[in-house]
């Protein structure tokens, strides 16, 4: 039997579904784009038509502007694009993040986007495995060293750090990527400990999460007016420190920490710009990747977006039919100051 044409293939503009004539997370201007989620390395301006999950619509609009049309699908609903059945399934990464399921002539592919099957986040619908013949998986943390502690444990550490800072009469500062990580922190923080302030740079998306029904801890905006309330006892979530050094300086003594999956690496932990590092990621860790791949039952696994060579080699050694699916991966949120999940963030954040 002749090899079938792949349902999705890499192109100069991004992953392309030939049979349906549309792209998934394209990086160039195209006619039709199915978007896994609104992080800037997945959702770019310039498409004439976008499809995303319904709860992520407002965020995508904010990201891509008003030039193109945005259509939405709720999780699990199916639409047909050029003869290909398309549905979106929870990826557990950020609000509205989806795995894209494609079905054409009995063949099923799932493109994961970024996904977090390891620990459910309080700020989005938990990841759900989807059965398929071919699974395209991200591999941001596709090395055995990456194993996340439970979020309960991590939030316990964050709260203990915050309380200790209060005892020492200083404020706590947590830089976090404005979309996704900031809201995950807000959904997990214990507001009874003290006041929480958001710097202007991380304020945009919280109301969108709340309108989508996500419960976030109450917060104020960090400003001249709120500095006295935050000083000595509050917790500030900010994007990159460079922009707000003025206001943070007005808080007097502060302790800086950083929350990311990269905190598992020694280099990140040793970074002296931070007093504390917390391991909190919105991506799959190593055991999460392996479990997720098994759960799809896929015969073929395409590895993209991260540790592609190491992870695909490991999968082949385990007997999987695994291949590298090329992408123009540059890490989350390149060019936005603080990168959500890149090691460089630890250096750039101050």
Residues forming the site for Zn ion (CB under 5 A): 39, 41, 114, 332
Minimum CB distance to Zn ion smaller for 165 or for 281: 281
CB 43 within 8 A of CB 25: yes
Closest by CA to 168, choosing from 178, 160, 176, is 160
Distance of CA 240 to the CA centre of its chain: 17
- Across 151-172, b (16+ Cβ under 10 Å) vs e yields beebbebbbebbeebbeeebbb
Minimum CB distance to Zn ion smaller for 87 or for 116: 116
Q: How far apart are CA 222 and CA 236, in angstroms?
A: 8
Q: How far apart are CA 265 and CA 128, in angstroms?
A: 28
CB of 149 to Zn ion, least distance (A): 21
Minimum CB distance to Zn ion smaller for 41 or for 53: 41
CB of 306 to Zn ion, least distance (A): 8
Distance of CA 265 to the CA centre of its chain: 19
CB of 1 to Zn ion, least distance (A): 35
Minimum CB distance to Zn ion smaller for 117 or for 234: 117
| Strand, coil or helix: 217 | coil
Minimum CB distance to Zn ion smaller for 103 or for 114: 114
CB of 279 to Zn ion, least distance (A): 17
Locate tokens 């400990």: which residue? Answer: 193
Q: How many CB atoms lie within 10 A of CB 249?
A: 10
CB of 227 to Zn ion, least distance (A): 32
């Amino acid at each position: 039997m002749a090899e079938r044409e792949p349902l999705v293939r890499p192109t100069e503009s991004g992953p392309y579904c030939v049979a349906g004539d549309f792209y998934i997370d394209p990086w160039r201007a195209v006619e039709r784009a199915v978007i896994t989620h609104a992080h800037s390395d997945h959702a770019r301006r310039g498409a004439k038509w976008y499809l995303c999950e319904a709860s992520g619509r407002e965020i995508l609009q904010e990201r891509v502007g008003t030039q193109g049309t945005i259509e939405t699908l709720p999780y699990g609903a199916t639409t047909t694009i050029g003869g290909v059945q398309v549905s979106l399934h929870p990826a557990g990464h950020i609000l509205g993040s989806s795995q894209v399921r494609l079905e054409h002539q009995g063949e099923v592919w799932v493109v994961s986007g970024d996904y977090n099957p390891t620990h459910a986040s309080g700020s989005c619908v938990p990841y759900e495995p989807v059965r398929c013949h071919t699974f395209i998986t991200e591999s941001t943390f596709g090395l055995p060293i990456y194993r996340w502690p439970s979020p309960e444990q991590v939030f316990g550490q964050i709260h203990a750090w915050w309380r200790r800072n209060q005892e020492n009469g200083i404020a706590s500062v947590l830089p976090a990527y404005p979309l996704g990580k900031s809201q995950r922190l807000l959904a997990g923080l214990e507001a009874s400990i003290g006041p929480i302030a958001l710097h202007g740079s991380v304020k945009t998306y919280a109301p969108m999460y709340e309108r989508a029904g996500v419960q976030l801890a109450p917060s104020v905006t960090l400003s001249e007016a709120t500095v006295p309330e935050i000083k000595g006892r509050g917790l500030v979530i900010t994007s990159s420190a460079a922009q707000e050094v003025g206001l943070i300086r007005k808080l007097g003594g502060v302790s800086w920490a950083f929350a990311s999956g990269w905190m598992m690496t020694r280099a990140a932990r040793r970074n002296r710009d931070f007093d504390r590092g917390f391991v909190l990621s919105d991506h799959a860790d190593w055991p999460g990747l392996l479990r997720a791949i098994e759960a799809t039952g896929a015969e073929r696994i395409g590895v993209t977006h991260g540790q592609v060579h190491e992870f695909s080699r490991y999968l082949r050694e385990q007997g999987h039919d695994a291949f590298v699916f090329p992408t123009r991966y540059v890490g989350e949120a390149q060019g936005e100051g603080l990168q959500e999940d890149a090691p460089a963030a630890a250096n750039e954040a101050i």
